Structure formats: structure tokens, C-alpha cells
Copies of this chain bind each other. A is one copy, B any other.
Amino acid sequence: MTPPHPAPSLGRVALLGVGLIGSSLARVLRREGMASSIVANARTQATRDKVMELGLADAVFADPAEAADGADVIVLCTPLGAYVDLVTAIAPRLKPGAIVTDVGSVKHAVVRELAPLIPAGVHLVPAHPVAGTEHSGPEAGFADLFQGRWCILTPEQGTDAAATAKIAAMWKRAGSLVEIMDARHHDLVLAVTSHLPHLIAFNIVGVAADLELVTESEVIKYSAGGFRDFTRIAASDPVMWRDIFLANREAVLEMLGRFNEDLARLQRAIRWGDGETLRDLFTRTRRIRREIVDAGQANSGKP
């Protein structure tokens, strides 16, 4: 399973936030021996206790600045809405040459807001491992989460090449396929492959919960007909997803506009009994599934 990429020496790594992604990354760092030490920051005492109990870090702090103090690599692993406060808090403690990176699902808004907060001599290398499950928290993580998945880096022009290479090497060692992309383009690609699907899933599950003529227990009983696939997505972390939609507003609204236009056409086809339109679309969509299976991206990657 271990990929043939050399493990980078990352030095002291600070994980700010230890949920599904942060704890999975901690497990990878341990497995691959990439960090000389791992320190973590978590808001609640319960999470801090869990982090130590699971052996995910050598030390854990309530104060992010203490965790970042003297760290060589700082990874933001919280919901996007916490980034600005976090980086404001740690900025005075960042040492020259340190790398600040993250794992967030939106990149352009993040780079725009964080870049001015980063001290001179500190490198910002935004990253997004496109992997996840519907589970949250430090116990939900596992080292193979990133295996075979893409990780997208969106460094601004002029970013230190060695810093970018180090973060790329970390993700390759985690089993990921690494791609460098423009931050705005990333946000558009993710709006259609991830954010819009989640929004639709949240919405359809909400619709089902509010019906009067069909009971919630009926919805649950007969969910194997398709609905349950949406509920898995709609079980993802509420705060994380709130922050994603707010941060990637423009691209999500653009994709939603297209979605609504196309749905109106389907609605009309159903109302007027236009079977050709329906069948044509359904035949096209089937082909796309085949291509995803062929590309090795069809399985959930859960253990």
C-alpha cells in the first residue's frame, strides 16, 4: 500500500483541528514517520483528551498559538469559518520558513483572506484533499482515507517552490494523487463535483422530513430505493458545510442556476409525457458513471 514516493522530513507539525481529516493526517504522519513531532490544537477538552488517548499527537493545546509556536508545518483542519481567527492568533508565533497549509474545500476565498495575515518569510500553500466520509471527529479518521484520492494544491504565483514541493510530497506519501490548480478554477470544479451535490442532498432529505402524507418512518423504511444514498451525503458535518457554501457562494450559485434550468426542462418533460427527452438524458448520464468506474474513483474508500 505504501507509495513509492520518498517521505519528506516535515519537522514539527501542528494540526489545528483534529476531526476526520486532521486525525487521518495525524495517522499518516505517524505511519510514515514524516514528523519529528506532532502537536495539536482542539477547542474542547473532550477532543483534547481523545487525541492523547488515541496517540494522535505528542502534545495537545487549547490555544492554537501554543500549538503553532516553533512548528515547521501548520495545517489548518477546522471548518473554513474558523480560519481567519486561527491565523490571526498564530501569526505572531510563526517562525520564518514555516509553512501554513490547510485541508479546506474552498480555496480562492481562503487565499484572499489569509494571505495578508501571514507574516513575511512564512509560506502559504493551500491544499484540499478530495476525500472524506460522513463521519466526524478524531475517532472517525483512518490512515487510508487519502489513498488513491486527489489532493489539489493552489499556491499563488510566486509561492516558494520548495514549500509547495514539501506539501505535495506529504500528500503523495499519504497515497494521494497531487494536482496543482488555480484557486478560482478549483472552486468551480468543486462547486459541481462536491458542493452542489451536497446542497441537493441536504435539500432532498429536508423535503422528505417535512412531508405530511408520508411519514418519516416510511421514508426511512423504504430508503433503499435511492434516498439513502442522499442521506449519507446529507449526514456530513453541518458547520463545515455551512462554511463551504458561504465561502464558495459565487460558484455554488452559478452551478445551482444551471441545475434549476435543467430541472425545469425535466419537469416539463414529465408533465407533458415527453419520454424521448427523459430517455436521452438518462442514457447520457449512464455513460458518465462508466467513466468514473474506469477512472478508479467509484469506491467510497471507507475501511
Q: Which residues of A are interface residues toward B (Cβ below 8 A)?
A: 81, 105, 130-132, 134, 149-150, 152, 179, 185, 188-190, 192-211, 213-214, 216, 218-239, 241-243, 245-246, 249, 252-253, 255-256, 258-260, 262-263, 266-267, 270-271, 273, 275, 278-279, 281-286, 288-292, 295, 297-298, 301
Contacts and interface: CB of A to CB of B under 8 A. Distances in A.
A262 B229 contact: no
A194 B225 contact: yes
A224 B150 contact: yes
Chain A residues touching B, majority SS:
helix
Nearest to A199: B266
Contact of A202 (B192, B204, B281): B281
A225 B21 CA distance: 13
A7 B25 CA distance: 52
B224 A288 contact: no
Contacts of A232: 229, 289, 298
Contacts of A196: 204, 207
B253 A270 contact: yes
Contacts of A229: 197, 229-230, 232-233
Given A204-B200, A285-B231, A130 B214 contact: no
B198 A292 contact: no
Contact of A234 (B188, B243, B286): B286
A295 B204 CA distance: 19
A292 to B, nearest CB: 5
A105 B197 contact: no
A221 B149 CA distance: 9
A269 to B, nearest CB: 8
A192 B228 CA distance: 11
A31 to B, nearest CB: 21
Contact of A285 (B206, B239, B256): B206
Contacts of A204: 196-197, 200, 259
Contact of A190 (B225, B267, B283, B291): B225
B270 A234 contact: no
B193 A288 contact: no
Contacts of A233: 226, 229
B267 A256 contact: yes
Looking at A81, A193, A238, which has the most chain B CB atoms within 10 Å of its CB?
A193
Contacts of A252: 270
A188 B214 contact: yes
Contact of A226 (B197, B213, B219): B197
Given A197-B204, A209-B284, A234-B285, A223 B297 contact: yes
B207 A259 contact: yes
A242 B238 CA distance: 35
Nearest to A196: B204
